[in-house]
Structure 1
Amino acid sequence: MEYALLGPSGVRVSRLCLGTSLFGVAPEPAEAVKLVHAALDHGVNFVDTADSYGDLPHFDRPGVPPHHERESAEEILGRALRGRREQVVLSTKAMEPVGPGPNDRGLSRRHLMAQLDRSLRRLGTDHVDLFHAHHPDPDTPLDQTLAAFDDMIRQGKVRYAALSTYPAWQVTHALWICAERRLHAPVAVQTRYNLFDRTPEQELIPACRRFGLSLTAFSPLGGGLLAGPAKEYSGERRWGGGGFTAPQLGVAAALRSHAAEWGLPPAHLALAWVLSRPTVASAIIGPESVAELLDALPAAGLRLEPAQLAALTAIESYPKTADQMIAKRRSAHG
């Protein structure tokens, strides 16, 4: 396993981070514990979770106990980390709804403090290394959220603050507030980033480069589409959403074409490409079994040639559907 610095923290994290959003669903609890142990045994030291993962209704699917009968992802992860907590850079988040009450969500001081204590109990630890604002909260002034994070750090319950799914202008605003008020500033930004979602390249990556923050990429395999044939529950369907779009299918077809030409698994290409991008410290993967984890690990050390990286980067200019891709190839060959 290889490691990268996480922003200005001085902490090194594994280039692949173990994501736990589906813990308790896929994998089920016993397999999830085995998965965590296997990841640690193979050098993964970065694990990402959230207070809303695993036991909410939108994770329900046939063949799995309903949400009110499931443990949270944090509880399963806490059990898996017993005796091994110090090996892990542990990341969690708060903001998403976790109950029916009017204050069971958001980034208010009240909610953040309550959720951090809840997460610490469920994880079986006295601190988390990285605590994210899971999404922007339009109802809470940003300075209040950042002040709450600063207090958590001063209390010793959090080591570093971070942001998730924030646009570049809000990241910049947060850094200005922290500089003006001498608060502990966020060290990283978590965002969706993959071959068919290149939005971070427009403003977020330039902002992270300018201010020295790291980016951690979730959904680097596009919900599984870029790993190969789609599973029944992949993409947004994992959370009750829809399927893949025609442009996404076109990108996946182009990736498979390159993979066949170069003799490499599509998933390795997709992960290696994300890890090659500026400011990306780690790519968050969500394997559903130990076998899937072991299949993904070689991507952390894969070094693609400049021409290969250029070809992958250019995929967005390819035809946007598989049918168009086939038609273009046929026309090129007469």
Structure 2
Amino acid sequence: MRYKQLGRTGVKVSAMSLGTATFGVAPLEAACDRLIGRAMELGINMIDVANSYGNQARFDRPGAPAWTQRRSAEEIVGRAIKGRRNALVLCSKVMEPVGEGVNDRGLSRRHIVEQLEQSLRRFGTDHLDVCYAHHPDPSVPIEETIRAFDDLIRQGKLRYYALSTYPAWQVVEALWKADRLRASAPACLQIQYSLARRDPELDIAPICRAYGLSLTVFSPLAGGLLAGVSKRSESFVGRRRWGGTDFTAREIALAEELERLAARHGHSPSTLALAWLMAQPFVASAIVGAEALAELEANASASNLDLSADVMAALDEIGRP
């Protein structure tokens, strides 16, 4: 496993992280401990969680316990990492709804502080390494959110905070406001980025270069689109995982182009897609939500793959914005 620096923090993170959005469903809770253990054996030191992952109805699937009978992903991870937490860069998120109350969501100081305390209890730890603002909250001034995270850092309950799914202009606003407040700045950004979604190269990547930020990337295989024809034909891939539509004709054509290139060079499509992504200088880690050990091991192998200049050039033409 290769390691890259997380922004300007000095913290080294594995080029592949373990995603946990569907923990308790795929994989089932009984298999999560072994999956996390194997991830650590492979050198993965970063686990990506959120306070809204796992036990919500949107993750329900046939053959898995209903959301009312599942633990949260934070609880599942907390049980699995007991005794080995300090070897990990443990990340969670706050903003999405976690209850029916009007204040059970958002990025107010009240909600951030309350939810971080609950996350710490669920994980069984006294601090998080990174807490992301899961999405922008237009109802709360960014100054309030920054000050809340900065106070938690000063209290030792949080090492860094970061931004997830923020558009470029709001990233720059957060950086400027943090500087004006003399508060901690976001350590990194989390966005969706892959060969099938290259638009961050137009605005987010230049911000990373200018301000020394790095990316942690979710859906690096575009929800299974780039994992080969058998994977993308499964029932729960892409937008279908959340009750959405099938892949578009353009997306399938892009995936087929990748599959032809992979076949010519003797690699799986997912290995090529991940190796290309990890080679991007502004990407610190690709978050892969592996549902089985074999899938985890196959994807982790991409970290050590050095692609030739010709292959990188051919991949760069796929999905170019």
Q: TM-score, normalised by structure 1?
A: 0.94
5 Å matches for 1:256-295?
Answer: 256-295=259-298
- Per-residue CA distance 1:147-172 (angstroms, 9 max, x = gap): 10000100111000100001111111
Aligned pairs (5 A) from 1:1-334:
1-228=1-228, 229=230, 230=232, 231-316=234-319
Aligned-pair CA distance for 1:297: 1.1
Secondary structure of the corresponding residue to residue 272 of structure 1: helix
Q: Aligned residues, how many? A: 318
2:5–2:12 Cα contact (<8 Å) kept: yes
**Residues of 2 paired with 1:123 and 1:23: CA distance?**
14
Mapped partners of 1:317, 1:285: distance in 2: 22
Query: Is the 1:59–1:240 Cα contact (8 Å) retained in structure 2?
Result: no
**Which amino acid in structure 1 is aligned with residue 250 of structure 2?**
P
Q: Structure 1 residue 242: deviation in Å?
A: 2.1
Structure number with larger C-alpha Rg: 1
Q: After superposition, what is the alpha-carbon deviation per residue over 1:238-270, rounded to whole angstroms, capped at 9, x for unaligned? A: 222222111111110000000111011111100
Check whether the contact 1:134–1:164 (CA below 8 A) recurs between aligned residues: yes
Query: Could you list the runs of 5+ residues in structure 1 that have no partner in the other structure?
Result: 319-334
Asked if the contact 1:32/1:289 (under 8 Å) is kept, the reply is: no
Question: Hey, what's the Cα distance between the residues in 2 that align with 1:234 and 1:58?
Answer: 14
RMSD: 1.1
Kept after mapping to 1: 8 A contact 2:197/2:319: no
Return the letter of the residue paired with 2:224.
G
Counterpart amino acid of residue 314 in structure 2: A
| Alpha-carbon distance in structure 2 between the residues aligned to 1:111 and 1:241 | 29
Q: Is the 8 A contact 1:107 1:145 kept in 2?
A: yes
| Secondary structure of residue in 1 paired with 2:130 | strand
- Encode CA deviations 1:280-334: one digit per residue, 9 max, x unaligned: 011000110111111111101111111111111111269xxxxxxxxxxxxxxxx
Distance 2:63 2:152 in 1: 39
